């Protein structure tokens, strides 16, 4: 997971270093009397006045060290499930030691981030080569071979992007505000409180930025229109004609509901697995992809990897993890043919489903299992529910196809019942003879006979008439 944080860490350290160097330079060069250095010991103040460039670099390293401590704390919280309370406790008890440790680890952290970036890029390039694609623009081109982008969602996507950019700008201003507090406030307690307030505000801004995607997410979750959702995501990810896909999880989910698991798998190559929640989301999506591709080995691997994830969200995290694991396990049961257990799972999912696409998904699989179990009445009921609520999800067409088959089977059963209700016809064999009285006309003795004839001589005129249109092949007795 740490590799996906390397870029953010490197940019944060670079910005912190620049801000620190500029701030120290402002203090040194804007104050010829060096009054701003009065808080330093006399020897160090004299050295700073004579080596201003070195002090600017030192100031940049100190600020980068403070930022480094925050980054290390976030990494510990996500990688090793360390509680934030311990991080805050250390900040209050030993701030000076933590700043020294953070400053000493700036250079190693920069080197580690560069190595992680190189490894991540190498891994992605290798995955793209295996998939025979070159990048995000190639993914969009492949998608447009089978689907068209809907321009009516372009304005919505641009508005969402503006809101997200606004949130990023507020976050950057927050960093500047914290730096100002660090340099112009000499009270260590106030500085620590400012850092804590910044971390709380950062979480709020992160949630606000995530909420900017809600209008796009609703296109799939509420309107069940994956094509519209993909169009909005692609427009959202396009800047100045260059595509850089974002929100890969939602994009892959849309492709799954368009029955394009291979392209969904390719999209997830660039999905950033920064924390435990994103890792669990990744393996949950991959399990659905492997199920659609009939890859049982991949499905089993997804379940094994998902069991290793631990969410640090208390009781809520336990519930989320349990639901995702049950979902992956259910796909394994479905592939192994354990239909009774799967049917119970989908019935429970249908009761607890919140969004229409979840209800349509559960109803489709209930109908499919019922069809396999030859419970056609129940299958037809759930297939009709899928058609009503499924929108443009791919299995709506499948549900229509199964419903037509069920109607054909019902029509055949009704026809057989009608034919079975007709009266049975008496059977006549060729060995039977028919005796008739014939008034012989006056004739010669050569034409005289004994008065008896076989059916071949008299013809079928005296046989009971069969119902119109009946034949030996369609005899109800033979159908029975």
d(CA 95, CA 327): 45
- Looking at the fold, whether 128 and 8 belong to one and the same domain comes out as yes
Establish if 449 belongs to a structural domain.
no
- Looking at the fold, whether 380 and 413 belong to one and the same domain comes out as yes
Domain count, the chain: 3
Max avg pLDDT among 195-204, 237-246, 283-292: 283-292
Establish if 473 belongs to a structural domain.
no
| CA dist list (Å): 317 to 276, 309, 324 | 10, 10, 11
Of 243, 265, 291, at which residue does a domain stop? 243
Establish if 432 belongs to a structural domain.
no
Q: At what angle do helices 84-93 and 95-104 cross, to 10 degrees?
A: 110
**401 falls in which pLDDT band (50, 70, 90)?**
very high
Of 70, 105, 132, at which residue does a domain stop? 132
Q: Which of 142-146, 173-177, 274-278 has the lowest mean pLDDT?
A: 173-177
- Looking at the fold, whether 148 and 185 belong to one and the same domain comes out as yes
Pull the structure tokens for residue 27: 């203090």
For residue 60, give the nearest of 110, 24, 12 by alpha carbon.
24
Establish if 303 belongs to a structural domain.
no
- Looking at the fold, whether 14 and 80 belong to one and the same domain comes out as yes
- Upper half-sphere CA count for residue 16 (Cβ side, 13 Å): 24
Strands 242-243 and 434-435: unpaired
Residue 432 has pLDDT above 50, yes or no: no
95 and 188 Cβ atoms separated by less than 8 Å: yes
Residue 45 has pLDDT above 50, yes or no: yes
Residue 300 has pLDDT above 80, yes or no: yes
Of 217, 243, 269, at which residue does a domain stop? 243
d(CA 137, CA 245): 8
Query: In sequence order, which residues have a C-beta less than 8 Å from that of residue 433 and are 6 or more positions away?
Result: 452, 453, 454, 455
Q: Which domain holds residue 12?
A: 1-132
- Looking at the fold, whether 117 and 149 belong to one and the same domain comes out as no
- Looking at the fold, whether 30 and 97 belong to one and the same domain comes out as yes
Pull the structure tokens for residue 145: 């071979």
Predicted confidence at residue 33, as pLDDT, reads 55
Q: Which of 292-296, 366-370, 461-465 has the lowest mean pLDDT?
A: 461-465
Establish if 452 belongs to a structural domain.
no
343 and 369 Cβ atoms separated by less than 8 Å: yes
Q: At what angle do helices 52-79 and 188-211 cross, to 10 degrees?
A: 60
- Looking at the fold, whether 68 and 172 belong to one and the same domain comes out as no
Q: What is the pLDDT of residues 276-299, one digit of tens each?
A: 889 999 999 999 999 999 999 999
- Looking at the fold, whether 5 and 100 belong to one and the same domain comes out as yes
Query: In sequence order, which residues have a C-beta less than 8 Å from that of residue 8 and are 6 or more positions away?
Result: none
SS (H, E, C) the chain: CHHHHHHHHHHHHHHHHHHHHHHHHHHHHCCCCCHHHCCCCHHHHHHHHHCHHHHHHHHHHHHHHHHHHHHHHHHHHHHCCCCHHHHHHHHHHCHHHHHHHHHHCHHHHHHHHHHHHHHHHHHHHHHHHHHCCCCHHHHHHHHHCCCCCCHHHHHHHHHHHHHHHHHHHHHHHHHHHHHHHHHHCCCHHHHHHHHHHHHHHHHHHHHHHHHCCHHHHHHHHCCCCHHHHHHHHHHHCEECCEECCCCHHHHHHHHHCCCCHHHHHHHHHHCCCCCHHHHHHHHHHHHHHHHHCCCHHHHHHHHHHHHCCCCCCHHHHHHHHHHHHHHHHHHHHHHHCCHHHHHHHHHHHHHHCCCHHHHHHHHHHHHHHHHHCCCHHHHHHHHHHHHHHCCCCCHHHHHHHHHHHHHHHHHHHHHHHHHHCCCCCCCCCCCCCEECCCCCCCCCHHHCCCCEECHHHHCHHHCCCCCCCCCCCCCHHHHC
For residue 419, give the nearest of 368, 453, 347, 467 by alpha carbon.
467
Residue 475 has pLDDT above 50, yes or no: no
Establish if 142 belongs to a structural domain.
yes
pTM: 0.77
- Looking at the fold, whether 146 and 42 belong to one and the same domain comes out as no
217 CB neighbour count, 10 Å cutoff: 19
Residue 28 has pLDDT above 80, yes or no: no
Query: What does the pLDDT average to over 416-443?
Result: 53
**305 falls in which pLDDT band (50, 70, 90)?**
very high
- Looking at the fold, whether 119 and 5 belong to one and the same domain comes out as yes
Q: Which of 66-70, 344-348, 387-391, 467-471 has the lowest mean pLDDT?
A: 467-471
Q: Which of 169-178, 249-258, 280-289, 344-353 has the lowest mean pLDDT?
A: 169-178
Predicted confidence at residue 354, as pLDDT, reads 92
User: 């934030």: which residue's tokens?
Assistant: 84
- Tell me how far apart the 2 most distant CA atoms of the chain are, in Å: 162
**236 falls in which pLDDT band (50, 70, 90)?**
very high
Query: What does the pLDDT average to over 365-376?
Result: 93
**431 falls in which pLDDT band (50, 70, 90)?**
very low
| CA dist list (Å): 185 to 177, 192, 195, 209 | 12, 11, 12, 30
302 and 287 Cβ atoms separated by less than 8 Å: yes
d(CA 430, CA 76): 96
Could you tell me the end-to-end alpha-carbon distance of the chain, in angstroms, rounded to an integer? Answer: 67
Residue 90 has pLDDT above 80, yes or no: no
d(CA 401, CA 416): 23
Establish if 413 belongs to a structural domain.
yes
Establish if 3 belongs to a structural domain.
yes
- Looking at the fold, whether 228 and 163 belong to one and the same domain comes out as yes
Average pLDDT, the chain: 81
Query: What does the pLDDT average to over 16-42?
Result: 70
- Looking at the fold, whether 31 and 114 belong to one and the same domain comes out as yes
Query: What does the pLDDT average to over 197-225?
Result: 88
Query: What does the pLDDT average to over 150-171?
Result: 91
Pull the structure tokens for residue 24: 């120290």
């Amino acid at each position: 997971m740490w590799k996906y944080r390397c870029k953010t860490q490197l940019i944060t350290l670079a910005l912190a270093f620049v801000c620190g160097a500029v701030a120290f330079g402002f203090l040194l060069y804007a104050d010829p009397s060096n009054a701003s250095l009065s808080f330093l010991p006399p020897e160090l103040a004299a050295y700073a006045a004579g080596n201003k460039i070195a002090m600017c670099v030192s100031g940049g390293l100190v600020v980068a060290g403070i930022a480094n401590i925050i980054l290390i704390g976030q990494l510990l919280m996500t990688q090793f499930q360390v509680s934030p309370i311990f991080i805050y406790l250390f900040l209050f008890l030993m701030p000076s030691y933590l700043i020294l440790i953070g400053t000493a680890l700036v250079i190693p952290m920069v080197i580690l981030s560069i190595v992680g970036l190189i490894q991540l890029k190498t891994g992605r390039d290798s995955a793209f080569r295996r998939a025979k694609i070159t990048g995000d623009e190639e993914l969009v081109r492949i998608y447009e071979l089978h689907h068209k982008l809907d321009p009516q969602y372009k304005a919505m996507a641009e508005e969402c992007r503006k809101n997200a950019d606004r949130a990023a700008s507020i976050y950057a201003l927050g960093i500047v505000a914290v730096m100002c507090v660090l340099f112009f406030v000499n009270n260590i307690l106030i500085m620590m409180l400012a850092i804590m307030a910044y971390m709380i505000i950062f979480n709020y801004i992160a949630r606000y930025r995530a909420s900017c995607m809600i209008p796009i997410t609703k296109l799939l979750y509420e309107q069940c229109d994956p094509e519209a959702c993909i169009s909005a995501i692609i427009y959202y990810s396009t800047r100045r004609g260059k595509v850089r896909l974002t929100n890969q999880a939602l994009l892959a989910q849309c492709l799954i509901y368009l029955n394009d698991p291979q392209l969904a798998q390719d999209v997830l190559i660039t999905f950033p697995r920064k924390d435990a929640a994103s890792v669990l989301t990744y393996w949950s999506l991959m399990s659905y992809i492997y199920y659609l591709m009939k890859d049982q080995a991949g499905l089993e691997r997804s379940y094994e990897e998902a069991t290793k994830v631990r969410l640090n969200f208390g009781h809520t995290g336990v519930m989320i993890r349990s639901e995702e694991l049950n979902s992956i396990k259910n796909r394994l049961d479905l592939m192994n043919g354990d239909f009774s257990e799967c049917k119970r799972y989908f019935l429970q999912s249908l009761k607890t489903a919140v969004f229409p696409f979840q209800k349509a998904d559960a109803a489709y699989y209930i109908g499919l299992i019922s069809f396999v179990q030859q419970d056609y009445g129940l299958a037809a009921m759930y297939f009709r529910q899928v058609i009503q609520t499924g929108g443009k999800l791919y299995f709506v067409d499948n549900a229509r196809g199964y419903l037509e088959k069920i109607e054909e089977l019902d029509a055949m059963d009704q026809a057989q019942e009608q034919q079975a209700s007709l009266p049975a016809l008496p059977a006549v064999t060729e060995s039977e003879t028919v005796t008739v009285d014939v008034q012989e006309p006056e004739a010669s003795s050569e034409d005289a006979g004994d008065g008896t004839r076989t059916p071949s001589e008299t013809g079928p005129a005296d046989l009971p008439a069969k119902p119109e249109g009946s034949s030996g092949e369609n005899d109800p007795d033979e159908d029975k």
